[in-house]
Amino acid sequence: MTMEVICHGVPGGHPPAGHYSHSCRAGGLVFVSGQLPVVAGTAHRPDAPFEEQVTQVLQNLDACLQGAGITRRQLAQVRVYITDMALWPVFDALYAQWIGESRPARAVVGVAHLHYGFALEVEAVALASD
């Protein structure tokens, strides 16, 4: 089995901040690294409203999926890391609008801190094709 690096940066976006790729394809799956609410070409804004952070994270996830030639309908699992579980209902409502009728497996993990001081990070596994 081979592994294919799909993108070293979010298409139309930012390159990884470390020694990794935003997404890789292996064994019929696409693995998307944790996405933070980073906007290409701008300063990091961990103080941005939570809703804005959620919207940006989901846009970054979409960009990674598009880079792999797939859509959110092919998501099999989504993992969400959040620094304040009181914000979970806000995330869940925005996520429900974003994902629509699809219902991939999902985990939520409360964490003390995330890189750059952001409030959430999302990673995912998707089917490489329908």
Contacting residues for 14 by C-beta, under 8 A, at least 6 apart: 38, 39, 40, 41
pTM of the model: 0.90
Is the pLDDT at 23 greater than 70? The verdict is yes
Which pLDDT score, from 0 to 100, does residue 73 have?
96
Beta bridge partners of 130: none
Homologous superfamily assigned to 3-127: RutC-like (3.30.1330.40)
Which pLDDT score, from 0 to 100, does residue 103 have?
96
Pairwise pLDDT comparison (66 vs 119), residue with the higher score: 119
Pairwise pLDDT comparison (6 vs 72), residue with the higher score: 72
Which pLDDT score, from 0 to 100, does residue 12 have?
60
Q: Could you report the per-residue pLDDT of 37-91, keeping only the tens digit for each?
A: 998 778 889 999 999 999 999 999 998 998 889 999 999 999 999 999 999 999 9
Helix H or strand E segment including 93: helix 88-99
Phi-psi sector, 75: left (phi>0), alpha (psi -120 to 50), beta: beta
Give 21's pLDDT tier (boundaries 50, 70, 90): confident
